[in-house]
Amino acid sequence: MQSQPRREHAKFISVLFDEAALWHLSFAAFTVHDLNTGSPPCPRWHRIAVGAGWAGNIVLTIAVIALGVWGQTRGTLNTSENNETRIVSSTECSSCLEDFRSRLKPILCEPHNGSLAEGSGCKLCPRDWQLHGDKCYWLSKKSKNWTGSRDDCLWKSAQMLVIQNREEMDSIQNLTQGANDVWIGLTVTLPGGEWTWVDGSRLDPVLFSGSAAGNSCASVKGTQIQSETCAAEFKWICQKEAAVI
C-alpha cells in the first residue's frame, strides 16, 4: 500500500497531466478560432514559441515533482538503513561489554569457596581507595581547610564523607585508625542554620547534636563528630560508589 506522501505526489502529477491536456486543447482552440475568424492568423513562429513555452513549463514542473518524490523515497530508505545500523551496533556493543566483564571477573574478583557463581559480580574501587560495603573511601595524607578538602573530593569525581548511621561511623573508625581530626562533609553555612551534609541531607541528631554556629564545619575523631572552624587544616576523607562488574 502506498504511503500518504506518495499518493499525494501521484495525485499532483495526475493533475499536472490534466492541466497539460487542457493547455493543449486551448492551444488547438486558439488556432481554430484564428481560422474561423477573418482576422489575420498569428505567425507560425509565434504559435510554435507559445506551444514550446507551455510544453517546457509542464516538463520542468513534472521533473521537479519527480525529483522530490525520489529524494523523499531515498531519504526514507537511508533513515531506515541508519536505524537498522544503530540497532545492530547497540546489540554488538552490549555483547562485547558482557564478554569483557566475563573475562575480567576471574582476574579482579575474589572467588567465594574457590569459584565464581554464574551471574555474580564483585565491587571494585580505584587504586589507593578502600572498599567498605557498597562504597569506596580515600583518606588523604596532606592537610587542607574544609573548602579545599571538599574541592579535592569533587576533582576526584567523589564527595566528602557522609555518615548516615552508627554502623557507618564504626566502619570509618577502621579507616582513620583513630587518627587526629579528619574533615567530613558536614557544615553549617548560615548563622542559625542546621548541620547539613554535602549531599543535601540533614544530620541525624543521634550522631551529633552540637551547636550549629555559622560557618562551622565538622570533623571526626575516632567515633566522635565535633565542630571546628572551617579555616582549620586537617586530613579529609572522600567517598564514591564502588564499581560493580
Query: Using one digit for the tens of pLDDT, what is the confidence trace for 133-182?
Result: 889 999 999 999 999 999 999 999 999 999 988 888 888 887 887 668 99
In contact, 238 and 142? CB cutoff 8 Å: no
Neighbour count for residue 152 (Cβ, 10 Å): 17
Q: What is the pLDDT of residues 110-146, one digit of tens each?
A: 665 455 445 556 888 999 999 988 899 999 999 999 9
SS3 204: coil
Q: What is the pLDDT of residues 32-76, one digit of tens each?
A: 444 444 445 555 544 554 454 545 555 555 555 555 545 555 555
SS3 179: coil
Estimate to the nearest angstrom the gap between the alpha carbon of 148 and the chain centroid: 30
Phi, psi (deg, nearest 5) at residue 48: -65, -40
Q: Which of 13-22, 59-68, 186-195, 224-233 has the lowest mean pLDDT?
A: 13-22
Q: How far apart are CA 194 and CA 148, in angstroms?
A: 22
DSSP of 116-175: PPTT---EE--TT-EEETTEEEEE-SS-B-HHHHHHHHHHTT-EE----SHHHHHHHHHH
In contact, 157 and 211? CB cutoff 8 Å: no
Q: How far apart are CA 228 and CA 230, in angstroms?
A: 6
> Any idea how long the chain is?
245
Average pLDDT, whole number, for the chain?
72
Neighbour count for residue 96 (Cβ, 10 Å): 10
SS3 79: helix
Which residue type is seen at 142?
Answer: K
What are the distances in angstroms from CA 178 to CA 40, 54, 78, 223? 119, 98, 66, 8
Q: Which of 71-85, 152-166, 217-231 has the lowest mean pLDDT?
A: 71-85
Nearest to 190 by CA among 210, 214, 163: 214
